[in-house]
Amino acid sequence: MRVVVKIGTSTLTHATGRINIRRVESLCRVLSDLKNAGNEIILVSSGAIGMGVGKLMLSNKPEDIPTKQAAAAVGQCELMYVYDNEFAKYNHNVAQILITGNDVENPQNLLNFQNTVNRLLEFGVLPVINENDSVSTDEIAIGDNDALGAIVASHVGAQRLIILSDIDGLYDKNPSVYPDAKLIKEVSEITPEITLMAGGKGTSLGTGGMVTKLHAAQIAMDAGVEMIIANGRNPEVLYDISEGKQVGTLFKRK
Ligand code: GLU
């Protein structure tokens, strides 16, 4: 199965922006194992800005574009260094691809991107994709990696997009405010009622929230890709998903 796994900053790093070593080790071990079982995995990883913030010892996520872009440039190196080391333990090669909105809108760039991903997968390499934040401006930015994950999944012929987040899935109301909030297990259409369930807020270092995830779900579903939001706290949840167990919220393909 060809699967895109999107992992958010809050899953990869502590609130300080420094890497969550236990989490990342577990994630890379599970993904390596799923590759060993014959799955084609593409990772869409956030964390560049967050790790840059940690490495540059900034007190919080920068607001201005040049500092954000500088943090992304520093953090992207760190991110790939970590992935390269972790996947090397299991004899898997990683490759970095950084894209912007321009690249998916320009047919030639899109074709180049697709060809590269396909060839990497033929080589058994694990592509790690992020937005090229250091050159992105508002006009060309995809903006959040939930959408990036869905765009990638829809253009590389993936059957499934898994969004690993710091929440179990979509709730009927905000679970951090309402203890009786219920997890929605399956969504077959993004109705106005479903949209109302999504609050707006993400975490301090990441970009996404439930709204960006619903937007991603719409892109994925329209492209015939199923999407699952699951909690990345324990990356072994990826085994359950691959075994067809009910986990998090499933957005069914059309
Ligand atoms: N591309 C951003 C980063 O690597 C993340 C965007 C997002 O969190 O959605 O920091």
The predicted pLDDT at position 207 comes to: 53
Torsion of CA 169, 171, 174, 175, to 10 degrees: -70
Residue 107 Cα to ligand 1 midpoint, Å, equals 24
Among 10, 207, 213, 229, residue to substitute to test ligand 1 (most atoms within 8 Å of Cβ): 207
Between CA 252 and CA 132 the distance in angstroms is 30
Residues 6+ apart with CB under 8 A from 43: 4, 5, 6, 7, 31, 83, 126, 127, 128, 129
Atom of ligand 1 at shortest distance to CA of 212?
9
Pocket of ligand 1 (CB under 6 A): 8-9, 46-50, 72, 130-131, 133, 144-145, 206-208
Angle, in degrees to the nearest 10, between helices 48-55 and 65-88: 100
Q: Retrieve residue 117's tokens.
A: 């991903």
Backbone torsions φ then ψ of 76, nearest 5 degrees: -60, -40
Domains in the chain, CATH or no CATH each: 2-251 (3.40.1160.10)
Atom of ligand 1 at shortest distance to CA of 133?
1
Among 130, 138, 140, residue to substitute to test ligand 1 (most atoms within 8 Å of Cβ): 130
Query: Where would I find the H helices in 89-142?
Result: 101-105, 107-122
Torsion of CA 237, 242, 243, 247, to 10 degrees: 40
Q: Which residues of the chain have a pLDDT value below 70? A: 199-208
Residue 103 and residue 140 in contact, taking contact as beta carbons nearer than 8 Å:
no
The predicted pLDDT at position 208 comes to: 56
The predicted pLDDT at position 30 comes to: 98
